[in-house]
Amino acid sequence: MEPSTHESPARRRWRLATPAVFVLCGVLLAVSAANSDGGDLRPTRYTDLASYVEAESDEATALTARVGELTRQNEQLSQNLGDRAVNRFNAEIDVLQDPAGLTPRSGPAVTVTLDDAPAELIAEADGDTINDLVVHQQDLQAVVNAMWSGGATAVTLQGQRLISTTGIKCSGNTVQLQGVPYSPPYVITAIGDQGDILRALEGDTYLDAYRDAAFDPQIAVGWDVAVEDFKTAPPYDGLLDIRYAQPIDG
């Protein structure tokens, strides 16, 4: 007896579907290869915080350098214009650059250095006490604000010039300034009358509490104040994208 030429409906569906599955897989592989352009479609994985910080710092440095180059090109093009109105605006900009922090400032200075507690104290700390042993953004802001109150004409943090729009943001165990992460110790320098700045630092109630913690051997966060005869604060070289609120129409 010859075998039957009839197939069950289920077997027929599988026989027809198998080539379609292989074709679909081939299409997906081709699309992935085209999109990857020879690279890995998976996101890069950072194995530790140090690698992440280094990558973020390198990217911010490159972007800052690019901004500086574009700014120089813009200034050069503006100076080449002979329009009287443009020249007037350029003159006004030159006057405002210094108070805006866009020119260097030199003179006598006061430097405050803040640091985390010694490593052995941090290693022994638990979740309830660890926050007392590290420097926070509000500690840095308190020092900077006291320096401004003392009449400082320029303030730097980690060598970076601070201006009115600068934000100091805590990110894990680092502090971000202009998109660049920094680790302790944190060095804050103010240019100006040393006596006035020192009195402002000594009279700040928030910093009184910080100094008490610095002198407590169970906490021992870093606090150091030094006066310097001459110091130069570089001009601010970050982004100047000023944003402001706008009224809602209607």
- State pLDDT tens for residues 41-79: 444 444 556 666 677 777 777 777 777 777 777 777 666
pLDDT the model gives residue 154: 95
Question: What are 236's two structure tokens?
Answer: 């601010």
pLDDT the model gives residue 161: 93
Residue extents of the structural domains in the chain: 11-41, 49-97, 105-233
pLDDT the model gives residue 10: 53
pLDDT the model gives residue 1: 43
For domain 105-233, give the CATH number: 3.30.70.1880
Euclidean distance between CA atoms 179 and 59, whole angstroms = 9
pLDDT the model gives residue 181: 87
Euclidean distance between CA atoms 203 and 130, whole angstroms = 27
Euclidean distance between CA atoms 232 and 73, whole angstroms = 26
Q: What is the CA radius of gyration of the chain?
A: 30
Low pLDDT (below 50) residues in the chain: 1-5, 39-46
pLDDT the model gives residue 17: 53
CB atoms within 10 A of CB 40: 7
**142 close to 204: Cβ distance less than 8 angstroms:** yes
What's the pTM value of the predicted model, to 2 decimals? 0.62
Question: What are 166's two structure tokens?
Answer: 């600068």
